Structure 1
Amino acid sequence: MTQSLLSRRIPAEPYTQWEPGVRSPGSACGPATMAALMEYWHTRQGVAFIPGMRHFDTKAAHINNIYSRHGGRPWGMSVRSFTRGLHAYLRLAAGKDGHDGWQHTVTVFNDMERYTAEIDAARPVALKFDKWCSFRWQGDFAYNYHWVLGIGYEKPAGGKGPVLLVHDNGLRLKDGGYRPGQERRIPYLPNRNIITMVALDITRV
């Protein structure tokens, strides 16, 4: 942190929708984002009943499980499907392991201050970019239709707008290969009209 930049970043593990073994990679950004979010809560927040990678041999297997059981579709994952998938994943995991002493909340919004509050509380936020359902046909958007995991932010000085720090779920290359998921900086203001944010909180009761 410097005088010219306020920033925060969460140490979440990136996932890649294009890695070998993912059965429907072109429409797996939602499941990959959900898998990364679940793994964070299992590993970094210590919510032991969440399966995480202890129940899956690979990240691809984790993504495939979510795709087939919790809302994956060939045309992509809607916000409604994503939130319903989160509820189902967590209820199934808690019920299977007998951990009824936890409760979770899922909140849908689009507000940069709320987003920064979630990051400050060490809670990653799932971000959906969707110009089609937002009826925003024109614009210099980071993505037309894509899920990513929000893992941080930057607030530059001098009146510049805030920046989202996200894990991008990787990229398919023209030669048939892929680039693994990595961090990307995305300005919020040019994209705000097509973004939906989904926050998750898990607490003991």
Structure 2
Amino acid sequence: MKTQLHVQGISQYDSSIHANFQASACGPVTAFVLLNYLLPNANPFQPNDLYRKLGGTRIGLFTYRFIRNMRKILGPNWQIEKCSLHTALQELKNGRPVALKFDKYFSLQWNKKSTFAYHWVPLIGYEIEDDELVLVIHDNGGRNRESKIRKVPYSPNASILTFIQVTPLAAL
């Protein structure tokens, strides 16, 4: 079984993103990618705007700020909250990407081996390979590298993952 949305990613190191923001722009870039997908041709925000509006910092974007400030930006017709893996997979089946945060520092798992230590990415799909869940993400790029689609095993990362659904409550 495989589900994958056709989402256009962007590198957090894209030249359009302020140089002082780039190293910690993964959260705002994730929000930008989700909004571009959910509001095609109607997203009024750019990553630099979202960095400021979401409350980005040099050490990243805290989950509570992502949720609180996305609610302010999008208003009451949207459900923006932490969700379970089950809900995240259902969101993907319903055609909506999910914000995914890897965070071994604030989950107090410093020595945990994981795909990323601290990073926000758009979760755009999943599949089952050899009876194991594999998450499909856009990785938000790197210096001199565009964002690309990657597969990430769920099990070794499970304890440091946070899923955030961004769901319209009414038809857009």
- Fold match (TM-score > 0.5): yes
Question: Which digits, 9 at most, give the CA deviation of each residue in 1:139-186, with x for residues without a partner?
Answer: 2201000000000001124x3x200000110012xxxxx101110100
Cα shift readout 1:6-61 (whole Å, capped 9, x = no counterpart): 11101111021101131110010000000011111111xxxx7xx41xx46xxxxx
1:114 paired to 2:98: no
Determine if the alignment matches structure 1 residue 150 to structure 2 residue 145. no
Give TM-score, length-normalised by structure 2. Answer: 0.92
Contact preservation (8 Å) 1:110, 1:192: no
What secondary structure, in the 3-state scheme, does the structure 2 residue paired with 1:142 have? coil
Deviation string, structure 1 residues 104-127 (Cα, Å, up to 9, x no partner): 11120342x222111101110100
Aligned-partner Cα distance in 1 for 2:164–2:93:
15
1:30 matched to 2:1? The reply is no
Runs of 4+ in 1 over 3 A off after TM superposition: none
| Structure 2 CA distance for aligned equivalents of residues 32 and 125 of structure 1 | 13
Kept after mapping to 2: 8 A contact 1:163/1:186? yes
Counterpart-to-counterpart distance in 2, 1:110 and 1:71: 24
CA distance in 2, matches of 1:89, 1:15: 21
How far apart are residue 203 of structure 1 and its match?
2.9
Contact 1:12 1:36 survives alignment (8 Å): yes
In the alignment of these two chains, the number of paired residues is 169
Residue 42 of structure 1 corresponds to which residue in structure 2? 39
Q: Which of 138, 148, 154 is the equivalent residue of 1:188? A: 154
SS in 2 for 1:204: coil
1:136 aligns with 2:141: no
Residues 106 and 201, structure 1, Cα contact 8 Å, conserved in 2: yes
Q: Flag structure 1 segments of 5+ consecutive residues without an equivalent.
A: 1-5, 57-61, 92-101, 173-177
TM-score (norm 1): 0.78
SS in 2 for 1:35: helix
Matches for 1:1-205 after TM superposition, within 5 Å: 6-23=1-18, 24-43=21-40, 51-52=42-43, 55=44, 62-91=46-75, 103-111=77-85, 113-157=86-130, 159=131, 161-172=132-143, 178-204=144-170
Larger radius of gyration: 1
Identity %: 31
